[in-house]
Amino acid sequence: MLDTQLTDEQTQLVATVREFTREVVAPVSYQHDHDHTFPYEVVKQMGEMGLFGLPFPEEVGGMGGDYFTLCLALEELAKVDQSVAMTLEAGVSLGAMPVHRFGTQAQKDEWLPQLVTGQSLGAFGLTEPQAGSDAGGTRTTAVLDSGEWVINGRKQFITNSGTDITRLVTVTAVTGRTAGDRPEISSFLVPVPTSGFTAEKAYDKVGWNASDTHPLTLDDVRVPEENLLGERGRGYAGFLRILDEGRIAIAAVGTGVAQGCVDESVKYAKEREAFGRPIGTNQSIAFTIARMQARAHTARTAYYDAAARMIAGLPFKTEASIAKIVAGEAAMDNARDACQVHGGYGFMNEYVVARHYRDSKILEIGEGTTEVQLMLVARSLGL
């Protein structure tokens, strides 16, 4: 089923994003990382290129592509700047996709045109201080009062939630109890700004310094009854579907990182001389980079397969988890080896491999930890 040959259109997209990454993203990447500033000018150009609309139909302002096409763009961006790649990934798969998948026609008409063109950013409010991997432990509540939902709670680690162009945050909240006394979790569209909604001070993170991430406070936030997204009580189930898809996108980012580390190491190994010859002529360096390439190739094969299954309408949950495991570990391992190949320069933030070394750890945590992915794979084996 897996076809690793890209179409002419996909090949052209990759070339276009690669050129954009080299000419627009790379020159400002270090400074945004150093200053912890959001790259508004880069995001604006990505919107103009149609990257935020890649997997959405043309009738809502999208590009008419599919999820795999989005992943190809993410892989290219991630080679140079994970913060930029994650701004796109979260804006599409976590911001706009829930509306596209579960929204009413009125909700789609209101939100998708601005989200899929990159004019506005959406965010995905699932994780809470007491509910991370155990997202079913949500404590945020929503109570229906006089035709409005009143939402109270806290969310944390929410990407794209506090930018100047953030206009929507979808949040999960407990709306009651089931017959078995389990929490009934629903999801809601919260426009930004809204009274009672606060994006608190941005986190001081180890990496992804140019990616916008905040804890959120919802204090008697009131939204219209029709802002319920999807069926009442199906919010958690819907978000699990979104996360399954998002893991393929995260795997594409991890693959881009792994390949970017290879590309930078090959370049450096050919240019850097020691003891009168390029260090790439030393078998230890050459073999290290060869092993790095093997990891990148394996990660790419894994996410291509998961994406192909998803697009074909086949079960893909297990394959998405495998892809995320493989790509996250490939990114971490390749970033470590790339820093070693670069020697002292690999410890300098001006070098992209150093930033990858800091940035890549979260790829083994965000959108489902490696341990959660292993649990899901083990369950699929009947364990």
| Residue of 75, 89, 329, 367 marked active site | 367
Joined together, the tokens standing for residue 356 give 């990858």
> For the range 337-344, what are the long-range contacts, defined as Cβ-Cβ under 8 Å and sequence gap of 24 or more?
337/261, 337/265, 337/288, 337/289, 337/291, 337/292, 338/261, 338/262, 338/264, 338/265, 338/292, 340/288, 341/265, 341/268, 341/269, 341/279, 341/285, 341/288, 341/289, 342/264, 342/265, 342/268, 343/272
- H/E run at residue 228: strand 228-229
Residue 367: active-site member: yes
**Residue in this structure with the two tokens 């790095």, named with its chain if needed:** 292
Phi, psi of 153, rounded to the nearest 5 degrees: 160, -170
State whether residue 197 is helix, strand or coil. Answer: strand
Joined together, the tokens standing for residue 181 give 């006394």
Contact 232, 207 (CB under 8 A): no
> For the range 202-206, what are the long-range contacts, defined as Cβ-Cβ under 8 Å and sequence gap of 24 or more?
202/36, 202/162, 203/157, 206/358, 206/361, 206/362
Residue 320: HSE in the Cβ half-sphere, 13 Å Cα cutoff: 27
> For the range 233-237, what are the long-range contacts, defined as Cβ-Cβ under 8 Å and sequence gap of 24 or more?
233/175, 233/176, 233/178, 233/184, 233/185, 233/186, 234/186, 235/172, 235/173, 235/185, 235/186, 235/187, 235/188, 236/135, 236/136, 236/138, 236/172, 236/185, 236/187
Q: Which of 63, 106, 110 is nearest to 88 (CA)?
A: 63
Phi, psi of 95, rounded to the nearest 5 degrees: -90, -55
Give catalytic residues, as residue numbers.
367
